[in-house]
Structure 1
């Protein structure tokens, strides 16, 4: 036991002695490693043990301190002063421009020069598409070319394309060819012949709408197909009659479209005309009857009766229009005293069938041609005059109230032919 003990002791001592010696140097680096980790979390106590770490830490705060100081000193209290200085500037800017723009528009509406642009100017501009198609074709056809049968045929084609109609086109071509075969003719001479012939055809139908003052109210029935501009034409006509000093009542007989009722009410407010209207879908004939009664009671000068737009080939709708006429005549056998068919010039030859159908159903007494500014086929008005001979009371070449004017055969003929205003 005693022998083995020293052996074990010696072995253990040798064993532990070897471990302890290297363990001591190992503890040194462990102690060094520990302070290296500790200064990162707690820099202050370890700064004396490790020189490198406190040095880095000292540099960091030194850098941070100057950066923090300029940030504090950078925003001086000048910032509140700047908005205070900017505030008066917008006030001056706002005040200065206000009187200038307001003064300018006030002086602009004074263009009393616009009336000098007047009807002739608006007419020529509105008919520019029609006249351009005609005059360009005529110029191209007759420039440096002798007159022969082929030239006259080409001229007829140009006139037909403008919807002047077969009979009218042949008549004009014949007038151009008289005594001029195998001769050169200037385009300006052809245009003059065109204007003369058109005026000859339109002259008898260019009649104003006459209001018989002995008939109170003077009942005007407005008819036409969908989209012809009927309701707008009623409003413009009401404005003209009111400007003449006549009392006017409007009957919103287009009960199919709520928009038409509201549109007529707006025109009534603008023109000072009373509007009789019902609910959408109400009986149009009953509303016309009520409006006529009211117009008689109020001693109104003119009653304008709107009707729903209807296609001429829809017999049911045309029968309903005939009913409106019958109901009006129950109160006044002579009414309606005028039945105006509003035609859209852009429909071209279809206007002929419209005149035929509405004349038979509503006893059309006169025509109003609208939207002449939207087509190159304004010659349809000449074809209608030649075929039916119905009075043309008004034509429209725009959207404003002033763009509906009494029809003048000479002005229309010269505008279509691209000639200047008659002296």
Structure 2
């Protein structure tokens, strides 16, 4: 039997009533939309969108309790279509059961479609939770039948209140006579995540003896404990970013073995496969670019396929794409070029578009010279004609410089021939 000392602090002080929820007053405060619906005994299907550790699961449970409905909790990580349909069939005997699905964005199209009929017929009330923008990750048909509510990361005031509440109400913490001298490190490491804040507080508290009159918590102590135990309380924080950083740098460095290893570490740790696929899309353009345009096409197809297939089979597609990107030719020329262009655009926001490049949809605009003297390249040999495309103030500006790879060098030679420029 698990004793209280073995139950994590976030679970020990989990809110038992909606009034105890911290930091979401825009939804649950007096006269807030979700509070008003609950007070009227009405609970529609909902998608909660927000960062980790802000209470999505707890709120879903308390909403079900508030309207006196059965509550079923599922995780998109380990629920297939078969299991999902079985749950929906079983819930048919219940009074519009509230079915909570954590990380609903990880459901593929087939899994989301399996929910759609049950939601439409009112067999279940769906409460989904996602850390990703539901407009991109949730089936539009399903999304249109749900209310979407955004949950906020907890601000400094909310985290401070939460920590003081834990010290004042949790029996195990009370026995250690804690006093927080400084909140800054606790707030910084928690990054708006209540679960992180409480787990770190619990770790810091465990370093004290119970027989001291007062145990003072300082920034220095919090930093020391956090650095020693980062993986224990911050699975999705610093370690998350370290792993993806190692993964991307291995691709950039053309090491397929290291790329596969760091990818496997992320997948084993429960990382969203779509997050990995997105990072590879970025790498395909940033680190490979026009040295091998097929890399972006493959990464895009990998992303779309992972959405459809889901885990565990998605690992195969991810692995193929990672190896392809790691072994591809590399170039960051277009990445550097767009950054230069963005910086130049910021410095010259008021430079006018030359008249010959302007759109001329009306007679008046044509009379004012809009579009006059524009040379249509397709009317000329090889579909090219020399004319100036930059405004006079910026003529001669060079933003793109090709990298020394076969494809870009060939493109550079063509450009030089077109523009009669000598190779620099």
TM, length-normalised to structure 2: 0.23
Specify the structure having the higher radius of gyration (Cα). Answer: 1
Larger RCO, structures 1/2 (Cα 8 Å, 6+ apart): 1
